[in-house]
A and B are shown apart, each in its own frame.
Chain A
Amino acid sequence: MRTEGLNGFDIALPAVPQAALQGVPPAADLPDAAARRRYGEAVIAALTGTPSWQLETHDRARCPLPLRIQAFHEDWPMLGTASAVSILRPAPADALAGLLPQALEALPEALRADAAAVLSTLLRGELPATPRAELQTLLGQVILRAARTAYEAAMAAALRRPEPQQSAG
């Protein structure tokens, strides 16, 4: 079952559940291996300051319908203006591979062992045990920061598109 995505008020990450704002989401929000890996990759990328998303911006009139419908189903944020739409899709997994050690370095030392266990489990497509509160909070904050960055990039790209003309229609 599709869960509610992280796509809304000044925050947007493709294929990451909204519950990630509170840390590792519950099992219902990570229903399969792909969703768990995707969430783990998003956390690792966020910790290293690497975008876990790819951005594409289209004039609305030229944005193909199949892409829009795919974005709807895959939970890729679609946001922009009345003239342009930005779509955020997940960055390819291989572009994010090998970032785990760097991500752990970005964490306080006291949390690294637990974080390594959680993230490794997610990358295997499995469900980790719920981390302790301190790590949960930190993971939520990390995702929030990344989601705000992604939103701002997507909206800025849409706003850069040409102004509508008086004769538009």
Chain B
Amino acid sequence: MHPPSHARPLGWVGGACLALAAALLLSSRLPRQREAEVTLARATARDQGLTYEQHVLSPGNLPAQVAAVGGHLVAHPRLPVARRRVAARYFAVPDGWSAGATVDERPHRHASRWWWSVGPGGYRVPDAIATGTDGSQTLFEIKCPSPWLRFPGGQIWATWMQTAFASQALAYLTWAAEDPAHRRVNYLFCGLIPPWAEALLRHLEAEVGVGPRVLEAQFSAGFPPARRFVLAVEGDQPPRPAVAAPVAPVAYDEEAD
């Protein structure tokens, strides 16, 4: 038996209303859910970065080694830095660690065209600076990113991540370039250096004329995430969840650093 003819338009309108309500409900729920997931992941990344920094700077680790060679370590000093800029160059890692980073040639409408060492009147706060018995200084920047991160060109979050990392590195290399005989910059990684970071540091070295020293697996035995990163060998990585993408820049948040 057919329904009454007047019921048809009502059914159509009702269905449309129901679909609209469902869409509205979904669209309001998904951002909230996504926001919550991102917040959680962001907190985890920030906590991990800070925890690694605390681990390296704990009395038995870096301070003890600096003292062993007669130096003196100061954590989180305020560092005045000359203001300079370089043209931004972004990288992508589409095929993983072994394939390395490639220059991301895509247009970056939402990304900085220039990387600045410091804002007007600003300063930097590196993780630590060691002063040797001869007065020479070594700046330490402590990082714990996953080496296996893959991303194609054109990712906005990847440009944010690289802008934060590169601006900071530019500042430190600019500082070292002012007195290269007595200043150097050490980048300490908990595991392996990611290809994009390696490529950025090479690019900045070519621009500034002074490069960093890169030390991997630093104090990694006492820091479980470093081991987890390296045990999760490239290619065995599970697919990167979409919510994790916006987290990456936070690993290099200047506040956190």
Q: Contacts A65-B98, A83-B202 hold; do A8 and B213 have CB atoms under 8 A apart?
A: no
A81 to B214, CA, bound (A): 5
A100 to B62, CA, bound (A): 32
**8 Å CB interface, A59-112 against B:** 60-61, 65, 68-69, 71-73, 75, 77-83, 85
A84: nearest chain-B partner, CB-CB: B214
Q: B216 to chain A: which residues have CB within 8 Å? A: 68, 72, 78-79, 85
Interface positions of B (Cβ within 8 A of A) = 60-62, 64-66, 68-69, 71, 89, 91, 97-98, 100-103, 130, 138, 186, 191-193, 198-199, 201-203, 205-207, 211-222, 230, 233-234
A81 to B207, CA, bound (A): 15
Q: B212 to chain A: which residues have CB within 8 Å? A: 81-82
Taking a contact as CB atoms under 8 Å apart, the answer to whether B211 and A81 are in contact is yes
8 Å CB contact of A18 from B65, B192, B203, B215: B65
Q: B219 to chain A: which residues have CB within 8 Å? A: 4, 8
Most-contacted residue by chain A among B101, B138, B202, B219 (CB, 10 A): B202
26 interchain pairs, CB-CB under 8 A = A4-B219, A4-B221, A7-B215, A8-B61, A8-B62, A8-B65, A9-B62, A9-B69, A9-B130, A9-B138, A11-B65, A11-B69, A60-B193, A61-B100, A65-B234, A72-B191, A72-B216, A75-B221, A78-B192, A78-B215, A80-B213, A82-B201, A82-B212, A83-B205, A169-B102, A169-B203
Instruction: Apart from A18-B65, A60-B198, A65-B97, list 17 A-B contacts with CB within 8 A.
Output: A4-B222, A7-B215, A8-B62, A10-B65, A10-B69, A11-B68, A21-B68, A71-B217, A72-B230, A73-B230, A77-B215, A78-B217, A79-B215, A82-B214, A164-B203, A166-B207, A168-B206
Taking a contact as CB atoms under 8 Å apart, the answer to whether A144 and B69 are in contact is yes
Q: A2 to chain B: which residues have CB within 8 Å? A: 221
A79: nearest chain-B partner, CB-CB: B215
B201: nearest chain-A partner, CB-CB: A82
Residue A5, interface by CB 8 Å: yes
Residue A148, interface by CB 8 Å: yes
A7 to B71, CA, bound (A): 16
Residue A3, interface by CB 8 Å: yes
**8 Å CB interface, A132-169 against B:** 144, 148, 155, 163-166, 168-169
A71 to B203, CA, bound (A): 26
**8 Å CB interface, A10-41 against B:** 10-11, 18, 21
